Structure 1
Amino acid sequence: MAPSSSTPSDKEVMARTLRKTRAFANWSPMALSLLLASSRLCWHARGDSLSAPAKSPEIFVIVTGHAVQFETSPQGIRLHWALRGPGQLLGFIGMLAFEESRREYVANDEVVAVHMPGQLFFDLLDSDPGRWKDLGRMLLQQEREQIDLVLGQIVGELSRRLASTVKQLAALHGIRASSESATHLRLTQKDLAGLLRVSRQSVNKELTAWDAAGVIKLKFNAIVILDEAALTRISCAAALSDGGHAA
C-alpha cells in the first residue's frame, strides 16, 4: 500500500504563505519563527469579520478566499472600498491608529487567513529596518492596485465603470484552471453594486446583457469571464462615449 501524503500543519501552512509574501521574503528563520509561534491560522465563513474575534490589534495575511474591505467614516457611514485576496496583508492601517476612518474586513466567501499579533509584528519590524522597506514596497503596490481599481469605479458611465471593475478584479482575484480556461471571479452582484455605489438592479441589467451576448456567464455568487477582449471593448467604447477620442 502506498503511503498516504501527510496534511501540512497550521504552522507549515502559515510559514509557506508568509514566505511567498513579499514583505516576509527576506525575514530570517528566527524572526519568522518568533512571529509564527504567536500567530494562528483561522477559517472564516462568508459574512464573518476577520477582526471580530481579536482582543488586541492583529495583522492578517489571506491564504485563500477573499474579503471585502469596508471604510467607516467618523460620521458612521460604512462603504465598500475594495476586494482583498490571497497574499495581501491587511490590518496595518488600523495599527497606526488613524482616527479619520476605520477599516473592517468581511469574508466575501470562505476565507483562511494568518492572524498575527500586531504589536509583536511591529516589534520585529523595528528590529530590522530592511523589513520596514520590504513591507513599505509591498503595501505601496497593494494600495496602487486598489487606487487604480477605485478610480475605474467612479469615473464615467456605468457600463465602462462596471467593465473596468470586473476586469481589474478578475486580474487581481480571478481563478482559472489553465491559461486557456475562462476566469472565475467569486463576487456577488450586491458586492459589485456596493463597490460602484449604484443599485443592484442597475448592475444586474448590465451583467444580464453581457451574459446574453456571451461576454460573461452569470453563476450563483460568481461571474465567469468568457471573452476578455469583448469586456475590454465595452470599457473602451464607453470611455470614448464619455468624451474621449480615439488615437
Structure 2
Amino acid sequence: MSNILHFAERSLATPLLFSTLGAEAQDELRRGASRHRFAEGGIIQQRGDEARGFWLIEQGSVAVGQFLPDGEFRATAVLGVGDSLGEIAMFAHRPRVVDAVARMPSELAFIRADRFEDLLARDPGEMRSLLGTLSAQLQDMIDLVAGIRQGSARRRIAGLLANFAGASTSPVAVAITQQELGELLGLSRATVNSALRELEAAGCVSRSYGRIVIDRPEGLTMLSLAD
C-alpha cells in the first residue's frame, strides 16, 4: 500500500487520483478551480447528482457514504486535505453514486470535467498514471473488503486501523469516532467499543474523545491476521 496518508483525517491508504498527477498538472487545475466552503454537516454532493467535475479537499475533512431512507448518514470512507472525490463518476459520465458530507468546516475546490479532460488530451502520460492508480485502488479495495468481512469484530477493526496507519511504524493519531468506525465496518457502536477495549488492553491503541491513537501499528497487523 502507498505511504500517502493523512494521519488525522483519512481512512484510506491508497493514493487518490488527483495526487497521481504531476505537480504542474495539479497546479494548473487548482488555478482554474472554483472554491466552496461548507459548514460541519454540510452536503457537498448527493447520490444522483450530475458529475460535471470533481472535488479537491483544501481544508477540513469529508465523509463519503450514503444517506439511508430514515435520513441517517452511513459513512464508507473518511477523506482529508489533499484528497479528491467524484472523479470516477465524472470519468464514467454517470450520476454520482455516493453522498459526501463535511465532517467539520471545510473548503473544497471544484475542478470542471472539461478542464480535466483537456489536460489529459494534451498529456497522455498523465492518463497512463491515472489508469495505474485506478488499478491499484481496485486491487487494494478488493483486499480490504475481503479482509474486513472476515473474522471477529476485533480482527476487522484491527485490520481497518492498520490500514489507517499504512506503512507507518510510529504512533498515528486518527480523528475518527467509534460511531464512524462502526459505520465503516457495519458494526454497532457497542461492538466497536468492546473491541477497542481489547485492542487497548493489548497496548495497540489508546482512545480519547473523537480520536484513536494507533500506538503499535505492527501489533494491529498481527491481530488482524489472527484467528
Q: TM-score, normalised by structure 1?
A: 0.67
Counterpart for residue 49 of structure 1: 43
Q: Displacement of 1:153 after TM fit?
A: 1.8
* Distance change in 2, residues 1:82/1:118 (3 Å): same
1:228 aligns with 2:223: no
Given candidates 169, 174, 189, the residue that maps to 2:178 is: 189
Unaligned runs of 5+ in 2: 1-17
* Distance change in 2, residues 1:131/1:84 (3 Å): same
Counterpart for residue 82 of structure 1: 77
Residue identity matched to 2:19: T
SS at match of 1:87: coil
Q: How large is the RMSD of aligned CA atoms in angstroms?
A: 3.4
Residue identity matched to 2:183: G
Rounded to whole Å, the distance in 1 between the matches of 2:135 and 2:105 is: 26
Confirm or deny: 8 A CA contact 1:26 1:131 kept in the other structure: no
Counterpart for residue 97 of structure 1: 93
- What number of residue pairs does the alignment pair up? 205
Q: Deviations over 1:114-147 (max 9, x none)?
A: 3212232223323432232222223333444443
1:137 aligns with 2:132: yes
Counterpart for residue 20 of structure 2: 22
Rounded to whole Å, the distance in 2 between the matches of 1:86 and 1:142 is: 19
The answer to which structure, 1 or 2, has the higher relative contact order (CA under 8 A, 6+ apart) is 2
Residue identity matched to 1:140: S
Q: TM-score, normalised by structure 2?
A: 0.72
Q: Which moved more, 1:195-204 or 1:78-87?
A: 78-87
Rounded to whole Å, the distance in 2 between the matches of 1:133 and 1:228 is: 33
Confirm or deny: 8 A CA contact 2:30 2:109 kept in the other structure: no
* Distance change in 2, residues 1:198/1:139 (3 Å): same
* Distance change in 2, residues 1:163/1:36 (3 Å): closer
SS at match of 2:77: strand
Residue identity matched to 2:223: I
* Distance change in 2, residues 1:165/1:203 (3 Å): same
SS at match of 1:50: strand
SS at match of 1:217: strand
Counterpart for residue 126 of structure 1: 121
Residue identity matched to 1:40: S
Q: Residues 125-204 of structure 1: matches in 2 within 5 Å?
A: 125-171=120-166, 182-204=171-193
* Distance change in 2, residues 1:169/1:25 (3 Å): same
Q: Residues 56-71 of structure 1: matches in 2 within 5 Å?
A: 57-71=52-66
Confirm or deny: 8 A CA contact 1:70 1:81 kept in the other structure: yes
Given candidates 106, 118, 124, the residue that maps to 2:101 is: 106
Q: Report percent identity of matched pairs.
A: 27
* Distance change in 2, residues 1:105/1:165 (3 Å): same
* Distance change in 2, residues 1:42/1:145 (3 Å): farther
Q: Deviations over 1:131-178 (max 9, x none)?
A: 322222233334444433333221222111110011102328x9xxxx
Rounded to whole Å, the distance in 1 between the matches of 2:20 and 2:222 is: 34
* Distance change in 2, residues 1:140/1:84 (3 Å): farther
Unaligned runs of 5+ in 1: 1-19, 242-247
Confirm or deny: 8 A CA contact 1:216 1:223 kept in the other structure: yes
* Distance change in 2, residues 1:223/1:78 (3 Å): closer
